[in-house]
Amino acid sequence: MEAQLQARGIVVIGASIAGLSAALAFNRRGIPVTILERDVLVDVKDQIAPNGIIQRRGVPHSMQPHFFLSGLRNALSHWYPGLIEQMVDAGVKEIPVKQCLPRTRNSDAIPKPGDEDLTVLASRRAVLEQAMRKYAERQQGITLRTSVKVLRLLSDGKQAPFQVNGLEYEEGGQTHTLSTDVIVDASGRMTRFLDSIIEEGAHVDDFHYKSNSAYFTRHYRLRTGQDFPSFVGMPGVLFDDLVATTFAADDANFVMSIVVNQDDSLLYDRALSKPAVFEDILRRIPKAARWIEPERAEPTSPVVSWANMDFFWRKLAPDGRVQVLGYFPVGDSVIRSNPKFGRGCTWSVLGSDMLADILARGGSPEELVINYQNALEERFRSEWAMMLTVDKEDQARFETRVGLAPNTIRSRAASAVAHWTSNIAPTVDPTFYRELVKAYYGITSPAAWATKPSNWLRVLRANVVPGASLRLARKYSERPSRDEIASIIASHCPPEKSPAPIHA
C-alpha cells in the first residue's frame, strides 16, 4: 500500500483546517496529495465584505470565535518547521501562559518548566487557516485545486465492504471523474458523501447529540496606540445561563461572544444580534467590558449568530465489521464536540496525522480502516466523552437557572462548583490555573486536575482567603441579572418593533 500511495497519491476533499492538515501529514511522509476545494480561495482581506463579514461559503462558522489550543500549536511547531513563524508573520499571536497567570506575589506566578507547552495561538480563524494554506501550497507534493466541487463518491461494491475507488466532481460547469485508491473526506460537518453508500447498505455507526449552545459574536479592532486589557484567568466568564468570551486575535483584532442556550426564551433572541443590545450586556460584565471601551476599540463587523452545535462520532467499522474501504473522514466529518471546548482544530490536526501514519505504515485495506478507528478511539474517546458529560451538566445547570428544572441542593452545589473552578480559582491561584489549562488544552486528560485533592484545596482556598486577587475574581464574575438583561432588550426593542424571537 505504501509504495502504491507514494506512486499514486491520495485525494483530499476540502481545504480547511482538517484538509490542509491531512495534506501536510501525508506529504511529510512522502505521499503526494491533491486537495479539491469547492470555494474560490482569495486573500482574507479580499474576503471581508463592506459590512465586515469574512466570506467563506464553505466555512460559514469562520466569523465565530476560535481558540487554538496549545496542543495544536505544539503539533504544528513540531511537525512543520517554519509554519508557526509564517503564522506569526501573518499576524497570528502566540500567547504564553505567563501572560494569563493570576498576578500574585508568590513564586507560583513566575515561569515554570512545562509552561512553554501551554502557549496558545490567537487569531481570527480565517487568518490562521490562510497561513496554513499558504504553507501547504508551498510544499512540493501538495496540489490545491480550488473551485472544484466534489459531487459524489464512486464505489464498485454491491455489499459491505464497499470499495470507494474514485469520485465525481464539477469544475467550470463540467462534470468529471477521478479514480483514486484513497479519499480523505475533510469536507466538514455538512458532509453527505457516505449517504448514497449507506443507502446501498453500508452500516455506518453515527452517534449524534444536539447541543443547545448558541453564539452571538462580533469582531473588534484596537484603536491606534491602544492595547489589549490584561489577560487574567480563563478567556471567558461562565454563568449558568450565559458565557461571555473574549478572544485576542491576529494583529489588533479580537472577537467577543455571548454564548447562550437555545432553550432560553430571554437570551436566545434575535435582539442579541442588535449591536446595542449585545454591547450593553457586555458592558455590564466587567471582565468583558474592558475590551470594548469605546476609546480602546471599535467594532469591525455586525453581530453574527451560530446555533448549529453538536457532538458527533462516526465509525466505519462498527463492531469491527468494515463497511467502507478507501474512504477516510477526518476533522469535523468524523468527530466533533460542542465548539465551546475548542477542540475541533486540534483534533483535525492530530487525527489527520494519525491517519497518515497508519496509511503510510500499510496493511490490508480492512486493517487500515480498523487501525484508524482504533487510533481515534484511543486518542480522543475519553476526552470527547468527558466533554459530552460536561455539556449535559451545563444544560442541567442552565435548566435550573431559568426554572425549567427544580432548584435542589445538588443543583446549587453544581452551580457553585462551576463558578469557583472556572471564574474564581483560575483568577486567583496560578498553580490551579496551570492545572486547569493543562487539562483544557489537552496536555493532560480533561479530568486530571479534578482527580487531585490538592486542587480542590486550592479551589477552596482561592474562594475564601481574602486579598486583591479574590476581589478581582469576584469583580470579574459580576453580571447583569436576567431582569436587567430583559430591560436592556426592551430598551432597544420597543414591543411594536421587537425582532421575532428565534425560538418562535
Please tell me the count of residues contacting ligand FAD according to CB under 6 A: 37
Are 244 and 287 a contacting pair, CB within 8 Å? yes
CB closer to ligand FAD out of 387 and 488: 387
Cis amide prior to 113 (ω within 30 degrees): no
User: SS3 letters for 227-269?
Assistant: CCCCCCCCCEEECCCCEEEEEECCCCEEEEEEEEECCCCCCCE
Q: Check residue 245 for interaction with ligand FAD (CB under 6 A).
A: no
Nearest to 338 by CA among 216, 445, 215, 444: 215
CB atoms within 10 A of CB 482: 16
Q: Which of 345, 369 has the CB closer to ligand FAD? A: 345
Q: Which residue is nearest to ligand FAD (CB)?
A: 58
* Three-state DSSP state, 159: coil
Mask for 265-304, x = binds ligand FAD (CB under 6 A): ----------------------------------------
348 binds ligand FAD (CB under 6 A): yes
Q: How far apart are the first and last CA of the chain?
A: 55
Instruction: List the interface residues with ligand FAD, window 436-495 (CB under 6 A).
Output: none
Examine residue 338 and tell whether it contacts ligand FAD (CB under 6 A): no
x/- binding map, residues 77-116, to ligand FAD, per CB under 6 A?
----------------------------------------
- When binding is defined by CB under 6 A, the residue of 346, 373, 421, 431 that contacts ligand FAD is 346
> Which residue lies nearer to ligand FAD by CB, 39 or 429?
39
Beta-bridge mates of residue 150: 169
Query: In whole angstroms, what is the distance from residue 478 CA to residue 486 CA?
Result: 17
Identity of the residue, 180 or 226, whose beta carbon is nearer to ligand FAD in the bound complex: 180
Length reported for the chain: 504
Pick one of 235, 326, 342, 430: the residue that binds ligand FAD (CB under 6 A): 342
306 binds ligand FAD (CB under 6 A): yes
Q: Which is nearer to ligand FAD, 199 or 319 (CB)?
A: 199
The three grid cell numbers given for residue 424, joined into one nine-digit string: 474564581
Secondary structure class of 91 (helix, strand, coil): coil
Reported in sequence order, the residue ranges of 41-161 that DSSP labels E, i.e. its strands, are: 93-95, 120-122, 142-145, 148-155
Would you count residue 187 as binding ligand FAD (CB under 6 A)?
A: yes
Distances (CA, A) of 277 to 274, 306, 488, 493, 496: 5, 17, 6, 9, 17
Residues 24-63 close enough to bind ligand FAD by CB under 6 A: 36-39, 58-59, 61
Residues lying near ligand FAD in the complex (CB under 6 A) are found at 13-19, 36-39, 58-59, 61, 64-68, 149-150, 186-189, 215, 306, 331-333, 339, 342-346, 348
